[in-house]
Amino acid sequence: MERIEIPKKAIYRLSIYQRCLSKLQENGMETVSSSALAGAAGVKPAQLRKDLTYFGQFGTRGLGYSVEELRDAIRDVLGREHLQPVVMVGAGNLGVALLRYRGFEKEGFEVVAAFDTEPEAVIARGVSVPVHRHDEVVSFVSNNGVKLAILCVPGGVAQEVANELVEAGVQGILNFSPNLLEVPEPVTVNNVDLALELENLSYFVTQGEEAEESQ
């Protein structure tokens, strides 16, 4: 299927739809209505239909969507028709926790290698993924055609490491470092700032408490 430009928020929702469809398929369901799928994904049916029109027309009025057909189509759009290799750079406490996470392969991703300044210490913590010295990441990425990377390094070196990854051929970075990264197009960076997310939650909790006190 030819690649289509899709808004970033719609891509995020497509991932949610794909997960819902996988669960439906596991439960033996062959078809699903737009309202049922939208409800499972936490969106309105109109939003679901709009998102799906970005990459084709699916479903039959009165019958709904074929679960298997729609799931496979979304996987194709998301580039998930094959298991995608991922490298991790930085394997401290957070990195090791992510290396132990078993959900990546279920969602179509395989962490094929990790890189750290102290690989022996990481290996000693019992991770199953091969761990190499940090200065081997460029050659590994280049030789193995890896396009995705998870970055768990300190902020002071994050940009330098990102530059090396991009030069080696990485096109997508999941950034857990505290710094925002500058990368050339068409490289994409998704920033994960746990403290920022907690600050956002704290705001809404505080607002709710203030609203209760004012009643």
130-137 long-range contacts, Cβ below 8 Å, gap at least 24?
131/91, 134/89, 134/161, 137/87, 137/89, 137/161, 137/164, 137/165, 137/168
Q: Domain residues of the chain, as ranges?
A: 8-77, 84-195
Structure pTM? 0.71
Looking at per-residue pLDDT, the higher value among 135 and 204 belongs to 135
Block residue for tokens 């607002």: 207
> Distance between CA atoms of 206 and 201, rounded to whole angstroms?
9
- Check residues 210 and 206 and name the one with the higher pLDDT: 206
Compare 90 and 83 and report the one with higher pLDDT. Answer: 90
Residues 28-45 have pLDDT tens digits of 999 999 899 999 999 999
**Tokens in use for 198?**
């907690």
| Strand extents, DSSP E, 31-187 | 31-32, 65-66, 84-89, 109-116, 131-133, 148-151, 172-175
Residue 130 has pLDDT above 60, yes or no: yes
d(C-alpha 141, C-alpha 161), whole Å: 13
For the 84-195 domain, the top CATH level (class) is: alpha beta
Rg (CA), the chain: 20
Determine the topology of domain 8-77 in CATH.
Arc Repressor Mutant, subunit A (1.10.10)
Work out whether strand 84-89 and strand 109-116 pair parallel, antiparallel, or are unpaired: parallel
Beta bridge partners of 121: none
